[in-house]
Structure 1
Amino acid sequence: MIRQLPLVAFCMMAACAVPDYRPVRAPIPAPQPEPAPQVNPQSAKERFLRAVEANGCEVNASNSAVILAGATLSQQDLARILQELKDEGRGSVAPDGTGFRVNTGACA
């Protein structure tokens, strides 16, 4: 039994010297902050043109409320924008005189 004691001691010491090959867990990455939504600032005129294009290319009494709400404009903004578009040649009074027709972009 005493003869086996050095062998047992040697095996115990050898077991401590064996490298540990267990897989190491990767560190949990810190959560990345969500980027803020890209806001494309548009001028009032651009918002108005997009709203008019989406509603048939003409502003009249039946769709003016929808267009103003879609473009987030007031009546004063609308009057100013219509005058600017008319001066630039990008819009005109409808032939029947009850609306305003846009002739740019998708409405050309």
Structure 2
Amino acid sequence: GEKKRHEIMQLELLNPKFAILDETDSGLDIDALKVVSEGVNRFRSQGDRGVLLITHYTRILRYIQPDFVHVFVGGRIAEQGGAELAEQLEAEGYDKYVRMSV
């Protein structure tokens, strides 16, 4: 979790217009997840900043409210929507999207 916290600190120090966060929640316990999420939310609250958050798990979305959710299968967007899509994906699983792409 310490490495991820440092990455978020770098994000805030470098202050880019756009950040790509790939698996930021990977390997984090709940306390570290909250700290990382708070940092991402601070960055986003600046208003003129964008974040692409890539994750395989929806638990980080309990702390970071997404504007949009995209489900990718084979490098293509299979479905897109709001936060409710992430909740649906958590409840129903990913298999339906894989089957649709075949």
TM-score (ref. length: structure 1)? 0.26
- Name the structure with the higher strand share: 2
TM-score (ref. length: structure 2)? 0.27
Give the number of the structure whose alpha-carbon radius of gyration is greater: 1
